[in-house]
Amino acid sequence: MSVVPPAPFADLCSLCKDLSDLSAISGLLGWDEQVMMPSGATSARARQKAAMAAVIHEKATSKQLASAIAAAKQISSQLGPFESATVRDADRNYEMAVGVPSELERKIASKEVESVHAWVAAREKSDYQAFESHIREMLALVKEKAVSMKPSAKTYDTMIDVFERGMTAERLTEIFDSVAEPLKIVLDKVLDMKEKSTKKVHPALLGGDDWDVHKQAQLSKDICQVLGFDMDKGRIDVSVHPFTGGAGQDDVRITTRYSKELPFEGIMGTIHETGHAMYEQGRNDKYAGLPVSDALSMGVHESQSLFWERMIGQNVNFWHAVLPKIHEKLPHTKQVSAEDLFFAVNQVNRGFIRVDADELTYPFHVILRFELEKQLVDGTLDVKDLPSAWNEGMRKHLGVEVPNDKMGCLQDIHWPSGAFGYFPSYTLGAMTAAQLFQHLKTEVMPDVEDKLRNGEFEGVREWLRSEIHEVGSLYPSLDDLLQKVTGEPLNAQYFLQYLEDKYTRMYA
């Protein structure tokens, strides 16, 4: 027998579900913009997104919503944990939105379309100067919004909190400082071992015309379904920058990209986005459309994509499981073993591109962006000087010389779209994924490696669904969620140990 929720809570739920549906429509506009929209529609799409942003903002800051939240708070003692979390997050969302002028939301939505369009063109020509004015304007608008949201808080902390609730620049600095030097030691050690090793990537796995992009797409679709992506409630397309979007858990849309020269870009990118997508498809049906069903943070979201990409997809047992599909779709790999594939996808190199970076060098790409964001926001770095600061940071962190802006500060869509504060979530997600996998194999599923080798992914998926996906935003922070699931808050040592153990063994 179902329990009828108290009227004040039911009223709040109705308003929250309307907001969720409007956000879903906005999500579809964004997906179409990146995947299907003709280039000549940029101005029209900017107007459409601006209009939608204004409608959403009006409802998100309405007196009706404020009254519903106040009424629901009055009956909090009658509510269960998921219901209480819904009221808590509805209140948080309202407080963060109510100070932001509607016209500012319209400006940001419109500028985002224009900025991303300009970024695509500038990136193609490797011409930062052509994009400089757009990033300057977008940064100013996002800073203005952050100040409007929390006037008494540090601006960059507010930007971070949008994506990683409860996190601050100071805490992130502590986390990154704790891993940067130990990670550099591991990286130098592994690269030295690699140089001395006689192991080489199998010639069939180096890319070339045999890696037909249509066959790669078929293989990627097969793999994402084997992992558990429900194609009845999702689809896969191609975009310049891979992402997962759509309109909620019943309409989840993956995008990826394929290349003959980078043969694993499409497969591994698809596995990564499948992790995001299964988080979305696994959200709690009972609370669909309510704040508590939303992903807790982007760090948690990234932990799911990186769990599947790295803990599973870069695990030798995964390649044993999918080897027949590889041979079927790509006949030129008939002589390639699972060990060959494992070795190929786990190569360590100092490179320029974040999305192509290996596990060991990836955190340095994130740390660089975190440092630059802080400086851009506090004004110690001018937008015009971003390319030179970027290039100097790459020399400092990874010892590489950036050849051009396309492979440097123009490579990511985040700043063009206004997502300042997002980048730290990638490495928080990697750390979380390592901690979750350590707990899974030591406390929950000791035979997990055997299951992966046999292609039995359902148990892992269902564990993540029950412990992470369906829980949504029940807990107020990443630390609280990890405390509940693993028995301790975020602990970066699991991440460091995982990397050292894996890569020193691989090159031994």
Catalytic residues: 273
DSSP tag of 238: E
111 neighbors 318 (Cβ within 8 angstroms): no
234 neighbors 251 (Cβ within 8 angstroms): yes
What's at 414, amino acid-wise?
H
Rounded CA-CA distance 302/207 in Å is 28
Q: What is the 3-state secondary structure (H, E, C) of 425-475?
A: HHHHHHHHHHHHHHHHHHHHCCCHHHHHHCCCCHHHHHHHHHHHHCCCCCC
Question: DSSP for 344-401?
Answer: HHT-----S-GGG--TTTHHHHHHHHHHHHHHHHHTSS-GGGHHHHHHHHHHHHH---
210 neighbors 330 (Cβ within 8 angstroms): yes
Instruction: Tell me phi and psi for residue 380, to 5 degrees.
Output: -80, -10
Strand, helix or coil for residue 476: coil
Comparing CA positions, the residue from 455, 57, 459, 10 lying closest to residue 226 is 455
Rounded CA-CA distance 364/183 in Å is 9
Alpha-helix runs per DSSP H in 261-315: 265-281, 298-306
